[in-house]
Structure formats: C-alpha cells, structure tokens
Amino acid sequence: MNQVLIKNAYLVDPSMQIEENADILIQDGLVVKVCDYISDRDFDGEVINAEGLIAAPGLIDMHVHFRDPGYTHKEDILSGCASAAAGGFTAVACMPNTNPVADTPQVIRYMIEKAVPTGVRVFPVAAISQGMRGEVLTDFALLKEAGAVAVSDDGRPVRNAALMQAAIERAEEYGLLVISHCEDLDIIGKGIMHKGSVSEALGVPGMDRSSEDSVTAREIALAAATGGRVHIAHVSTKGAVAFIRDAKRRGVRVTAETAPHYFMLTHALLASRDACYRMNPPLREEDDRRVIRRAVIDGTIDCIATDHAPHTAQEKAVFETAPNGVVGLETSLAVTLTKLYHDRHVSLTRVIELLSTRPARVLGIEGGTLREGARADIVLFDKEREWTVHPDELVSRSKNTVFKGMTLKGKVIRTISAGRTIYQG
C-alpha cells in the first residue's frame, strides 16, 4: 500500500466549492480522505508539510504543441511533459500538427504511450482532415478508439465550411470535441503580426482582426445549425469575444479558451523586432487585451490554455521570417495569479477553475477535482512567492517566452501525479 499525507494545506477545489485549510490522504494514487485534520502519528507513508501553500487539482492545459513526432529539435513529449510538470500541469492535450500528422491511430497511441513514464497524461487531439489538408475527414471512430479526445486542424484553419460542418456532426456521434483554429488565410495573406500602428511603423504586413472574427462567427453558425459542440481556440480579439458571448446567450454549444499573453500583453512589444513576441493569433491592441481579460473574469471564456509552441533560438533569430509561437507551460499559473488574482479581478477558485476544473469538463476527461476517490493529481504552489522569468532556467527544450525578464507572483512548489511527485521546485 502506497500512502502519502499532505498536511496543513489551503485547499482550493472548485468542483467541491472549497477554499479552506485541509489535510489530504492519498492511497495507491487516489484521494481517500480530505478533512481539516488527519493525524500523522504512526503514519508509514510520505508526509508532505504544505503549510503556507495552496493545494489544488493538477492543472490541465487543453492546447499544447509538443512537436513529437517529427520536430523534436524544438521539443519532444518527454521534455514537454517535464515543462508541464514544472508548471503544475498533470495533463495536457497535444495538437496534431506533427510529422507525420496525428491522423492515424498509430500516432495517437505513440503520443499517449511515450508520456506514461513522465506522470503527465497526454490526451491527443487528432486531425480533423487527412494530412491536415482540409479535403477529407479522418476516421473519427478509429482515432477515438486509439485515445483521441478531440479533433482539430490547429495550425491550419479548415477553409471549407461544408467540411467543418460535417466534422461537427461526426464528432457529435463519437463524443469528440471539435477545436477550431479561427483564421481566414485569404485575409491574413503574408501578415506576420497584428495589423495596426506598430506593423505600419515597422513596415511589415499585418494580420487583420477580421480574419479571426469572421471564422469565429462561421463556427458558431455551424454549431447552431447542427446542434453540435465547437470550441474556439486561443481567442485574441474583442470581436471574437462578442460573437462567443452572444452565442452563449442564445444557447449555442460553444466554449472558448485564451492564453495568458492575450490578457496581459499587447502588440506594442513587437516594436523591438523581437520574434519571441510573435505568435498566431498575434498580440493585439489594448482594447482587445481589456476585453479578453473581462471575458475571462465573467466566464465568457471558459479556460486558460497556453498554446505552448516551442521553437529554437535559431528559428526565432530573424523577425520577418521566424515561425510563430511561444512557450508557456511554466509561466501560465504565475501570470494568471499575477494579473488576475493579485490584481483582485478573480478569486483563487476561479483561477483553478480556469486552469483545471473547466478544461477537464470541456475535454471530457478525468481530472479537475480532489474529491474522495478521485485520481490524486495535485499542484502545491506558493501564491505569494515572486520570481523572475529567465529563459535559460526554463525546463522546456525551447526558451521562446514572451514573459522573459518579468517578475511574476506565484510559484509551483510541487506537482503530484497519481500520488507520485513528478516535480519539486
């Protein structure tokens, strides 16, 4: 019998509507008791003194790119899972733009099995279309059987509306979530950052908000027409928020995520011509940032994800030609605490709901709770500890973070997966 006892923690669990001091007893990887006091006298297992720390369900990131298979010079499943654990994450959903594309059961099983020793559960998101070419749907039944929890052509929008409608209908049959990368490539053209005053000053092509807004509206219309579910990835514009808010009021089955950089930063950072501030969708304007933050606070946006997208320093060296994407697993909790909790916009319960409980529900996976009988996936963090983001100290194989040099407030101390410590800071 393997036992672990966490003593003197401050438990935050939205699934039980709990914010209170508690001890947590873990046995054989499961939570078996949660109460205000559990004696450690004659206890044979590991005792963790969590005095001064928050205990919460392990965090869940529903949007990451681990570049494995095919692009492991940037990241692989092992290094990605190590980065996740350092950020307090015990589960992640990996996007399908790998090489080969995650459009077969073999690739789906590979992603799941390679992650097993790390303690971080990988839930693959399979491709909507074969080869992510937007022409023919993949075999949703086989992909679901292999372990996929959702489908998406993330990284490439599904340009054909009829194909996307068919995907929403078929996904409903198999209990899969459709995740949409909302982008109109014809509007984007050769844009490399947000279209606005900064792109004009730099003399580089911009990415108009209308690209994201128009496809968001399309996906909502398709979900309304079919009665199916659609999840809008990495929301960055005030227009997209307006469409999502209206759709929810009308009862359309739409959920949405954003990333910490969209509620904290703006396109002004790109005046430095530093490609580490380039991602897709791009950093927008102050009005967008404020609307995104408000949508997170009021529940229009359901989840905070990172869109963790590693690239090498060499790839990011030239501003105009660098690939889009930033890493984010190790800073997500800290940024959310710093900009939402410590700035008194949301409670600790809402932070954990955004980063754990709600992602579990949207994906339909186990997690996001420390109820008795639940899997003992737990993050222990110090909400008051300040630290400065030094890229070279990140666990991720790549260091392309937008938060470099920033001082954040909130630090992961220990990450526990099924009762086993997989990270200790």
Bridge partners of 40? Answer: none
For domain 58-363, give the CATH number.
3.20.20.140
Label residue 42 by pLDDT band (50, 70, 90). confident
CA atoms within 13 A on the CB side of 145: 8
Tell how strand 420-424 and strand 407-417 pair up: antiparallel
Q: What's the whole-number mean pLDDT along residues 184-192?
A: 97
pLDDT score for 297: 98
For domain 3-55+374-424, give the CATH number.
2.30.40.10
Domain with CATH 3.20.20.140 in the chain: 58-363
Interatomic CA distance for residues 13 and 179, integer angstroms: 26
Q: What's the whole-number mean pLDDT along residues 195-199?
A: 98
What is the dihedral sign for C-alpha 179, 184, 190, 195? negative
Q: What's the whole-number mean pLDDT along residues 198-222?
A: 98
Q: What's the whole-number mean pLDDT along residues 31-40?
A: 96
Inter-residue contact 83 to 396 (CB < 8 Å): yes
pLDDT single digits (tens) 288-312: 999 999 999 999 999 999 999 999 9
Is residue 1 scored above 80 in pLDDT? no
Q: Is the pTM here over 0.85, yes or no?
A: yes
Inter-residue contact 128 to 152 (CB < 8 Å): yes
Report in angstroms the alpha-carbon separations of 172 from 137, 358, 402: 14, 20, 36
Q: Which of 61, 184, 307, 382 is catalytic?
A: 307
pLDDT single digits (tens) 104-140: 999 999 999 999 999 999 999 999 999 999 999 999 9
Is residue 228 scored above 90 in pLDDT? yes
Interatomic CA distance for residues 3 and 32, integer angstroms: 10
Residue-averaged pLDDT of the chain:
98
Domain with CATH 2.30.40.10 in the chain: 3-55+374-424
Is residue 192 scored above 90 in pLDDT? yes
* Percent of the chain residues past pLDDT 90, beyond the cut: 99
pLDDT single digits (tens) 402-414: 999 999 999 999 9
Cβ-Cβ contacts under 8 Å for 252 (sequence gap 6 or more)? 220, 223, 224
Inter-residue contact 155 to 97 (CB < 8 Å): yes
What values do phi and psi take at 342, rounded to 5?
-70, -25
Q: Is 307 a known active-site residue?
A: yes
Q: Helix, strand or coil for residue 177?
A: strand
